C-alpha cells in the first residue's frame, strides 16, 4: 500500500521506435515506451511498449488490479507490449485503456483489435479475461481521474497524431511529451502550455540538433529542444526520453554529461529509474 501522498514515476521502457538488445544498450535499456505512475494507491500506465511486459510480471503478483492505461498514440513501439501484459488475463482485474489521437476516424478498441488479428497475431483481444474498457477523448481535453488526480492533455506534432499528458496530483505535476516534432521557427505552443511550471517533464529527445535537419517530418524532437523548452517554461526537472535505437550507452552518457553542465539535475531516462516530483 502506498501512502495517500505518494507520487512517483517508474520507467519500464525508454527506447524509441524499436526495441533493441545487446551489450551496447544494456545500461539504459532497450525496451520501448512504458511508464508507471503511482498517485497514492492509483496506478496509471503511460504507453504499452515492450517495457509493459516487465511491469505486468511485477503487477500480477499484487492481486486483482484497477488500472488506467493512457496511450500517447498507437504507433507500434507504444502498443507492442500489450498482448504480453499478463494482468490482462486475470479475471478480477479492471483496466481502462484510453487514447486521444484517434477520433473521429478511428477508436482505440478497433485499432488495438486490428493489431491482435490473424495473420498478424495468433490470438484476438477476446482472449483477455480481465474487464477492459476503452475510451477515446480528444487531445486537448482535461480529464478528472478522481482521487484528486487531474490529467491535462494536448495534441502533439506527429504523423497520425499523438497526445501529450500532464498528470497533476497533490499540487505536483509530471508531463509526458513524447513523439513530437518541433519547428525551427517557433516553440510549440501546445507543448509550452502543457509543461509550464511542471515538476518533471519527460521529453522526446530522439535526435540531436545536428541530426534533426535530416529527419524533418519524422515526428521527433531533439535533446537540445527539450532543454530550451524546459528552460523557457520554468520546468523543475527535465528527463530525456525515447532514445534512438542507434544511440548506444556511451553516447547517452555523453549527452547526459552535456545536459548536466547546461542544466544540473537533468537526467537521461533509463529502465528501472524511479523519480518523485
Ligand atoms: Zn515512438
Ligand atoms: Zn510515433
Closest listed residue to residue 239, CA positions, set 210, 212, 276, 190: 276
Ligand nearest to the CA of 241: 1
pLDDT of residue 1: 47
Ligand nearest to the CA of 160: 2
Average pLDDT score over residue span 2-26: 91
**Count of CA atoms in the C-beta half-sphere (13 A) of 252:** 27
Residue 46 sits at the vertex; the CA angle it makes with 227 and 22, to the nearest 5 degrees, is 75
61 forms beta bridges with none
At residue 3 the predicted structure's pLDDT band, cuts being 50, 70 and 90, is low
Q: Which helix H or strand E contains 191, and what residues bound it?
A: helix 189-195
pLDDT in tens, 136-167: 999 999 999 999 999 999 999 999 999 999 99
At residue 121 the predicted structure's pLDDT band, cuts being 50, 70 and 90, is very high
Whole-number average pLDDT of the chain: 97
113 occurs within a structural domain: yes
1 occurs within a structural domain: no
The pLDDT of residue 2 is above 60: no
pLDDT in tens, 84-104: 999 999 999 999 999 999 999
Ligand nearest to the CA of 218: 2
170 occurs within a structural domain: yes
What span, in angstroms and rounded, lies between the C-alpha atoms of 277 and 270?
Answer: 17
Count the domains in the chain: 1
CATH of the domain at 24: 3.60.15.10
How far does the centroid of ligand 2 lie from the alpha carbon of residue 169, in Å?
Answer: 27
pLDDT in tens, 239-265: 999 999 999 999 999 999 999 999 999
- Cα separation values, 20 from 184, 229, 234, Å: 30, 28, 34
pLDDT of residue 5: 65
Helix (H, G, I), strand (E, B) or coil at 17: coil
133 occurs within a structural domain: yes
126 occurs within a structural domain: yes
What span, in angstroms and rounded, lies between the C-alpha atoms of 275 and 6?
Answer: 11
pLDDT of residue 63: 87
What span, in angstroms and rounded, lies between the C-alpha atoms of 100 and 105?
Answer: 12
Cβ–Cβ under 8 Å, residues 178 and 213: no
Pairing relationship of beta strands 149-156 and 142-146 according to DSSP bridges: antiparallel
Domain range enclosing 36: 7-275
2 occurs within a structural domain: no
| 23 CB neighbour count, 10 Å cutoff | 8
46 occurs within a structural domain: yes
39 occurs within a structural domain: yes
Ligand nearest to the CA of 50: 1
pLDDT of residue 260: 98
How far does the centroid of ligand 1 lie from the alpha carbon of residue 256, in Å?
Answer: 21
What span, in angstroms and rounded, lies between the C-alpha atoms of 136 and 156?
Answer: 16
Q: pTM here?
A: 0.97
Amino acid at each position: 500500500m502506498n501512502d495517500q501522498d505518494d507520487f512517483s514515476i517508474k520507467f519500464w521502457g525508454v527506447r524509441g521506435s524499436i526495441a533493441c538488445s545487446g551489450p551496447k544498450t544494456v545500461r539504459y535499456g532497450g525496451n520501448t515506451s512504458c511508464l508507471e505512475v503511482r498517485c497514492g494507491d492509483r496506478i496509471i500506465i503511460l504507453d504499452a511498449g515492450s517495457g509493459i511486459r516487465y511491469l505486468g510480471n511485477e503487477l500480477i503478483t499484487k492481486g486483482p488490479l484497477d488500472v488506467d492505461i493512457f496511450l500517447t498514440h498507437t504507433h507500434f513501439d507504444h502498443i507492442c507490449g500489450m498482448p504480453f501484459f499478463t494482468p490482462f488475463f486475470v479475471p478480477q482485474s479492471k483496466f481502462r485503456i484510453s487514447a486521444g489521437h484517434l477520433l473521429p476516424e478511428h477508436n482505440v478498441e478497433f485499432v488495438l483489435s486490428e493489431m491482435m488479428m490473424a495473420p498478424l497475431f495468433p490470438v484476438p483481444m477476446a482472449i483477455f479475461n480481465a474487464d477492459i474498457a476503452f475510451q477515446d477523448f480528444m487531445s486537448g481535453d482535461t480529464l478528472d481521474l478522481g482521487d484528486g488526480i487531474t490529467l491535462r492533455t494536448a495534441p502533439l506534432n506527429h504523423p497520425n497524431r499523438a497526445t501529450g499528458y500532464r498528470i497533476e496530483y497533490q499540487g505536483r505535476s509530471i508531463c509526458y511529451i513524447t513523439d513530437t516534432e518541433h519547428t525551427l521557427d517557433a516553440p510549440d505552443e501546445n507543448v509550452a502550455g502543457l509543461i509550464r511550471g511542471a515538476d518533471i517533464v519527460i521529453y522526446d529527445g530522439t535526435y540531436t540538433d545536428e541530426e534533426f535537419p535530416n529527419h524533418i517530418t519524422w515526428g521527433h524532437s531533439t535533446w537540445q529542444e527539450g532543454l530550451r523548452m524546459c528552460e523557457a517554461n520554468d520546468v523543475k526537472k527535465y528527463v530525456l526520453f525515447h532514445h534512438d535505437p542507434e544511440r548506444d550507452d556511451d553516447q547517452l552518457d555523453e549527452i547526459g554529461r552535456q545536459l548536466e553542465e547546461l542544466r544540473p539535475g537533468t537526467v537521461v531516462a533509463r529502465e528501472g529509474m524511479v523519480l518523485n516530483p
